[in-house]
Amino acid sequence: MCVRFFPLMSFIALSMVTMFSCTPETQSVYEAELTKVIGDKTRFILPDSDDFASIPQTSANPLTADKVALGKLLFHEPMFSNVAKTQESNYTYTCSTCHVADAGFRPGRQQGIADGAYGFGVKGESRAKVPTYKESDLDAQGARPLATLNTAYVTNSMWNGSFGSEGVNIGTEDVWGKYDPTTALNALKAGALESQNIAGLSTHRMFYSKELITKAGYKAMFDAAFPNWSEEDKYSNKGASFAISAYLRTLLTNEAPFQKWLKGNSEAMTEQEKQGASIFFGKAGCVTCHYEKNLGSMNFAALGVKDHYEMGGLNTSESDRRNLGRGGFTGKDEDMYKFRTPQLYNLGDSGPYFHGGSKNSLEEVVRYFNTGVVENSRVPKTQIAEFIKPIGLSEEEIQALTTFLQNGLRDPNLKRYVPSSVLSRMCFPNNDLTSKIDMDCF
Ligand code: HEC
Ligand code: HEC
């Protein structure tokens, strides 16, 4: 056993004992293995959140501290959820209703529901449909929400990569706006997040006007964030989207144990986590798709997992175009049922997993990959990724890989990305009565 923590007084004495009591083989086998399989560690190091020069961004929306500060508040501000289907639901939900910090910036339940639902629980798990809403009137999407973490590394956002004019969308201009009218916003050539969030503000029934911005006390912050913008652009969903997008790019999980390990702290991960990481980057080949700094990528693959409507998703069905993945956006046969490779940090904070939410735990995800048997018979075999075949991990290796995903990739301090209050002083993530009771917002 290695002694890691000891009182300061006996520091030197115990250090000596520790040095000799740790058998080198047990202490360093996975450290050495991981160092070997990873190669260049800098490939995976995430920048600090205030190191704007190192964070990927678009020239249309350079990062500034003023934009980030504004976006942080707007993402959590109920004041602009003012175009709900019913008067009673106005001012009750926010972006953070479905992207809850404590749940790894996803909702703590299968499906995120903003307008048309009430309640919160501890991390969004207790949100329930308002009985008087028709299912088709809910703001609920036919896919498990993606985390808004580490999106600086997402050149084309959503499970189907439909937003963003660059990256994998170069050459897809003819389908912008074709199947999903909101993707016409790619023509702005502003950046994936900027376009998506303009669309998102409408989808999620939020509306920014000069009058409301002023009334809510945000005018000076908009002025500081966008000094050279016309009033029309600035005090609008466009200005709000650009500020929110800047904030999202700073949501980096750079305090996760794996990140600390990459930066030179060999004690930051346990032996079991290091073993799991060695499997991820080595033997299991996970890194062939999960290769960017956020451990996701713009690689699209069909894993043959179930769709959201099969898992109890509301307002979705077998004919939902989202079930087609990339093919639902491009219309091309070769893209059908292929989904973007998502980032992997803080997933342990809330399941379920995959685009349809068909796996309840990370261990189930690992077992799915390990057995390699598809669960969605509608996906033609010819589309399924070659990777989906038995990997042959032992029970011990399954546990190690799961632990790496669960703990090694968990930034324990996401609270730093949440404001202590918003300018309206309303309750967030949600502001309906049940949520207020749940969160003790009085
Ligand atoms: C009703 C729940 C809900 C609300 C409210 C919501 N989102 Fe999302 N968000 C989702 C879902 C679901 C997805 C994945 C959709 C898909 O890919 O088909 C998503 C995806 C995203 C992504 C893409 C991440 C990536 O890696 O591609 C971003 C960025 C995002 N949301 C930002 C926002 C912002 C900003 C707001 C507030 C304006 C917001 N969301 C409000 C459910 C929600
Ligand atoms: C062939 C490319 C590929 C390989 C190899 C791969 N993945 Fe993935 N991974 C994906 C894609 C694509 C998705 C999303 C699929 C979907 O939901 O339809 C995904 C989803 C996941 C998820 C769920 C994320 C979420 O947000 O729900 C986890 C966890 C994961 N992968 C871990 C791994 C591990 C561990 C390995 C190695 C055993 C691995 N992946 C290998 C492409 C890959």
How does pLDDT run across 277-310, given as a tens digit for each residue? 999 999 999 999 999 999 999 999 999 999 999 9
Say if residues 107 and 127 touch (Cβ distance below 8 Å). Answer: yes
* Ligand that comes closest to the CA of residue 92: 1
User: Can you tell me which atom of ligand 2 is nearest the CA of 301?
Assistant: 12
Contact residues for 237 (Cβ-Cβ < 8 A; gap 6+): 198, 201, 202, 206, 207, 208
Taking the centre of ligand 1 as the mean of its atom positions, its distance from the CA of residue 426, in whole angstroms, is 22
Q: Is the CB of 408 under 6 A from ligand 2?
A: no
For ligand 1, whether the C-beta of 244 sits within 6 Å is yes
Distances (CA, A) of 278 to 33, 34, 103, 293, 319: 6, 5, 26, 16, 40
For a mutational test of ligand 1's pocket, the pick from 96, 129, 141, i.e. the residue with the most ligand atoms closer than 8 A to its C-beta, is 141
Two tokens at 277? 């990481």
pLDDT of res. 28: 78
CA–chain centroid gap for 186, Å, is 21
**Pair of tokens at residue 405:** 């995903």
Question: Is the shortest distance between the CB of 303 and ligand 2 below 6 Å?
Answer: yes
Q: Give me the pLDDT at residue 442, please.
A: 86
Do residues 409 and 258 lie in contact, with contact meaning Cβ atoms separated by under 8 Å? yes
Low-confidence stretches of the chain (pLDDT < 50) are 1-25
Query: Which pLDDT value is given to residue 142?
Result: 96
Angstrom distance (rounded) from CA 70 to CA 211? 17
Closest CA to 185 of 114, 243, 237, 249: 237
User: Residue 146 C-alpha to ligand 1 middle, in angstroms?
Assistant: 6
Residue 6 CA, ligand 1 centroid: distance in Å = 45
Ligand number, closest to the Cα atom of 191: 1
* Angle in degrees, CA 209, 210, 216, rounded to 5: 90
CA angle 249, 254, 256 (to 5 degrees): 135
Ligand 1 atom showing the smallest separation from residue 163 Cα: 27
Nearest to 113 by CA among 136, 82, 79: 136
Task: Give me the amino acid identity at 339.
Answer: F
305 lines ligand 1 (CB under 6 A): no
Closest approach atom of ligand 1 to CA 197: 35
Ligand nearest to the CA of 356: 2
Q: Is the CB of 151 under 6 A from ligand 1?
A: yes
Report CA(302)–ligand 1 centroid distance (Å). Answer: 21
Q: Give the distance (Å) from ligand 1 centre to CA of residue 51.
A: 25
294 lines ligand 1 (CB under 6 A): no
**Residue from 94, 146, 180, 245 whose mutation best tests the ligand 1 pocket (most atoms within 8 A of CB):** 146
Q: Which ligand 1 atom lies nearest to the CA of residue 160?
A: 17
Let me know if 433 is exposed, middle or buried by CB neighbors in 10 A (0-12, 13-18, 19+).
Answer: middle
Q: What is the pLDDT of residue 27?
A: 59
How far is the C-alpha of 75 from the C-alpha of 63, rounded, in Å? 16
Output the pLDDT for position 3.
40
> Which residue has the CA at smallest separation from atom 11 of ligand 2?
341
